[in-house]
Amino acid sequence: MYKEHISVLLNECKEYLLHKSNIDYLDITFGGGGHFFSFLESGQLSSAQGLDQDIEAYANGKKRIEESDFSKIAKIKHINFGSFLESNEVKYDSILGDLGVSSHHFDSDERGFSFKREADLDMRMNTTEGEKASDVLNSLDEKDLADIFYHYGEERLSRKIAARLVEKRKENKIIKTSELEEICFLAYPKHMRHKKPHPATRVFQALRIYVNDELNILEQSIPKLLEALKPGGRLGLISFHSLEDRIVKHSFKKAYQNDQDSYAILTKRPLVANDDEVSKNPRSRSAKLRVIEKK
């Protein structure tokens, strides 16, 4: 069963990306299909191509498309958007990327994305390939682990956590979410252990980003996404943490500075969720949407 995912900034995405009629739409992060189907229901799409590297998101999406009224114009592919863009030649009027993981990932009992659920530390969005988080934790040396926690999690106690982890794994391999959670918790000084965010939050984020190579794929993909826009086409990217948002902001700025006649940044400041949305969906609190247009 695909777990429910509430789409973030849905109205803002529709306002900016449904800017004309007869839109050829590309959704590079299909997830639960919330944005995808809502865009289709507007009646403004000529075609809709969804992508997701998660096999469960893909299977759920394929079934829903087949059973919907949109089966003639909507398609979904099981692929990493980085790989899709390497050989894509189709041009689109609107492209949306709602980055990172879905609630389905966090709420799943098997995937190991959340320290709130006991599971094996896997964390791969695409479970058909690549190294699991536990492989990374049990094989990299202390310095590399500390660097991952620091660079991808902005964790200030990265070295202490990595040192503790390497000590612990001499006894037994680190396999379970609860084991990693405890290592982070005990690496924190007593007076900081019960403060928010939980001591394991940043390390779990860092590992997930590393396992899925999220930041490199995003940075390499943005120029290709811009190339995939038709004249007048728009690209919207929703990020969930500062590392991602920095990449989106700088890449859009670079495209504009290199060619001011060809691009317009439509969101001088990122769009964020209003109080009403945050109260209904706390996950939207950290979402930032930036939109660029190809002239």
Which residue ranges make up the site for ligand SAM (CB under 6 A)?
Answer: 5, 7, 29, 31-35, 51-54, 57, 80-82, 98, 100-102, 125, 217
Judged by beta carbon, residue 148 or residue 218, the one nearer ligand SAM is 218
Judged by beta carbon, residue 5 or residue 202, the one nearer ligand SAM is 5
Judged by beta carbon, residue 179 or residue 244, the one nearer ligand SAM is 244
Judged by beta carbon, residue 216 or residue 274, the one nearer ligand SAM is 216
Q: How far is the CB of 11 from ligand SAM (least distance, A)?
A: 13
Judged by beta carbon, residue 98 or residue 245, the one nearer ligand SAM is 98
Q: How far is the CB of 29 from ligand SAM (least distance, A)?
A: 3
Give the phi and the psi of residue 227 in degrees, each rounded to 5: -65, -30
Among candidates 5, 35, 32, which has minimal Cα distance to 18?
A: 35
Q: How far is the CB of 258 from ligand SAM (least distance, A)?
A: 24
Judged by beta carbon, residue 123 or residue 146, the one nearer ligand SAM is 123
User: Which residue is closest to ligand SAM by CB?
Assistant: 31
Cα separation, 127 vs 131, whole angstroms:
9
Can you name the residues that pair with 92 across neighbouring β-strands? 229
Number of C-beta neighbours around residue 194 at 10 A: 10
260 close to 287: Cβ distance less than 8 angstroms: no
Whether omega for the bond prior to residue 197 falls within 30 degrees of 0, making it cis, is yes
Judged by beta carbon, residue 2 or residue 149, the one nearer ligand SAM is 2
Judged by beta carbon, residue 111 or residue 160, the one nearer ligand SAM is 111
The CA–CA distances, whole Å, from 49 to 46, 84, 89, 121 equal 10, 11, 13, 31
Q: How far is the CB of 144 from ligand SAM (least distance, A)?
A: 23
Please enumerate in sequence order all residues whose Cβ is within 8 A of that of 289, keeping only pairs 6 or more positions apart, or say none: 9, 12, 13, 16, 236, 237, 238, 267, 270, 271, 272
Cα separation, 102 vs 52, whole angstroms:
11
Q: How far is the CB of 156 from ligand SAM (least distance, A)?
A: 27
Q: How far is the CB of 33 from ligand SAM (least distance, A)?
A: 5
Fill in the DSSP letter of residue 119: -
Q: How far is the CB of 102 from ligand SAM (least distance, A)?
A: 4
32 close to 57: Cβ distance less than 8 angstroms: yes
Q: Which residues of 234-250 are buried (b: 16+ CB within 10 A; e: fewer)?
A: bbbbbbbbebbbebbbe
Cα separation, 36 vs 96, whole angstroms:
9
Q: How far is the CB of 52 from ligand SAM (least distance, A)?
A: 5
